[in-house]
Structure formats: C-alpha cells, structure tokens
Amino acid sequence: MFTGSEDRQRLASSSLGSAGCQPVVCSSLPQTAVSHDIPVSAKSPFPLRTKLHSARRPNAAGWQPALLGNLRARAFTLLEIMLAVIILGMMSLAIYRFVQANVTAMRISSEADAMEARYDGLRELLAQQLQSLPPGTAALAGEPLRIDGHDRDELTWFCPAGPGLLTRYATGDFRVSLRLRARDAKSRQLDLGLVRKPKEDTAVGSEHETWVRLIDNVGTLQIRFFDSRLNTWVQRWTDTVTLPRLVKVVIGRTDAKAPTEITVPLARMPL
C-alpha cells in the first residue's frame, strides 16, 4: 500500500525520466561526493598522477587550475619595466652622442680639407704663372707694405688672358696683383685675392678693376724674393731685366697656428 504523497512522488519522477531530464536530488537527502577518477595506466601510473595533481590544486573557492598562478608569477613588475626603459634611454642617448660626434668630426674634417685645397690651388696658380714669365720684360714686381704691425705685401705680374688672369675671355695684357683686401668698410676681416686691371689703364681710380677673392679670412701676407747676386732674401723687387731665383709667399692663417708657406722657383738653382 502506498500513500498519496508517495504516489505523487513516483508519478513526478517517472514523468521527468520520460522527458529526458535528470532526477532532482533533494537537498535534505545526504549527498555523496562525486569522485573524479581518471584511468591510470598500469605501465606508468605515477606520471599521470603527477600531472593530475599539478593541473588542479585546491583552494578556498574549490578546485582551480594552476595556470593562473603561473601566469601571475611570470608577469613583469613595475620596477623591471622602469629599469628596462632606463636602459633603453641610456642606449639611445649613447648612440645619439656617438652619431653626433662623428657628424661633427666629418664636418670639421671636410672644412679643413676644403681650406687646404684652396691653398694647394693657390700654390699651383703661382707656380704655373710665375714660371711662365719671360725675363727682360719687367713682368714681375713686388712692394712691401705693413699696416698696424701686420705684413700686407703685394705681388704684381703682367700677363695676357690665361691661368694668371683666371679667365680666357680677355684681350690685351693685364696687371694682376696678389694682395689683401678688407671684406667691407666696417669689417676688419681680410681676404686674399687678385686685383685685375688693364695694363694700358693709367687711371688712379678703381672703376676698371675687378676683384677675385681666393681665400677668406687671412691674417697676414708676406712676400720675399731671393736675389742670387746678393745671395739673400729681399723685400722689394724692381729689377726689369732679371727675375728672382725664388719667390716665397707666407700667408698667416686665422684658422691655424702655423702659417702656410709657398716657395716657387723661377729658375734652376745651381748645385
């Protein structure tokens, strides 16, 4: 004999089982712990058990995978990130200083090479022009000049169009003077260049003169002539028949401590 309550309970459980649902376990009934058994191989049971215990660990909230704890242990701290940023900044600063020093050295070296090339060009110009002067025509002259305690000598030669005149498009002979000239009326900077003027022009003014600047910012200009008859260097050359054996041009530079000396032989020196 079944009571009415038991009949209703049986009817409810049978209807749920027919519908495909799991039976409801009453909370008042004692529940047994569900064991999560994993089949262990008979050959190697210990590695599988070690993997099981390492994959899951108990805590206050229940069973939880151990992967989150490993991720938290592998993360970078703020101190490590700050140290990495400081190291990267120091490396960037060192690379920038290294590149800047190399660029500055290359710029200074290129400027020095360009200046030396100008002096080499002046040496070639004087050698080519002075060695081609014919004797007995008063083609060379030189006058000393000293202003404010600094040498500002002048070297003059007469030539037609060519290297000595720095142009091929000219007719007749010209008077060419190597001298120093101020950059402008207010500046004390002196530039080395050539003053060209027609030989037949006897005007005092400079309206027919042309100025060709060769080297910028020169301190002094000293010119000496070697007279073989006196066997010494002289400051002035006025001989219209013979030419000096040697012409020495000493240029005082503002960008270097030692002056630049150019010596041009005009005749073969006896042994």
Say how many C-beta atoms besides its own lie within 10 A of residue 226's C-beta: 20
- At 156 the pLDDT is 95
Per DSSP, what are the bridge partners of residue 114? none
Residue 102 placed within a domain? no
pTM equals 0.64
**Which structural domain range is residue 259 located in?**
126-265
**In this predicted model, what pLDDT tens digit does every residue of 102-123 receive, in sequence order?**
999 999 999 989 999 999 999 9
Residue 241 placed within a domain? yes
**In this predicted model, what pLDDT tens digit does every residue of 133-168 receive, in sequence order?**
988 888 999 999 998 888 999 999 999 999 889 998
Residue 108 placed within a domain? no
139, 153, 231, 245, 260 from 266: Cα distances, Å: 12, 19, 15, 5, 19
The contacts of residue 127 (CB under 8 Å, 6+ apart) are: 264
- At 59 the pLDDT is 53
- Return the residue matching tokens 């909230």: 61
- At 62 the pLDDT is 54
- Residue by residue, DSSP assigns 54-122 as HHEEEETTEEEETHHHHHHHHSPPHHHHHHHHHHHHHHHHHHHHHHHHHHHHHHHHHHHHHHHHHHHHH
Residue 186 placed within a domain? yes
Per the structure, the count of domains in the chain is 1
Residue 207 placed within a domain? yes
| Segments of the chain with pLDDT less than 50 | 1-3, 11, 14-36, 38, 40, 44, 46, 48-53, 55, 71, 271
Sheet holding 232-234, edge to edge: 232-234, 218-227, 246-253, 260-265
Burial letters 160-172, b for 16+ CB under 10 A, else e = eeeebbbeeeeee
Residue 237 placed within a domain? yes
- At 148 the pLDDT is 83
- At 200 the pLDDT is 87
- At 176 the pLDDT is 95
DSSP state of 165: T
Per DSSP, what are the bridge partners of residue 59? 62
Residue 259 placed within a domain? yes
CB 245 within 8 A of CB 217: no
Residue 88 placed within a domain? no
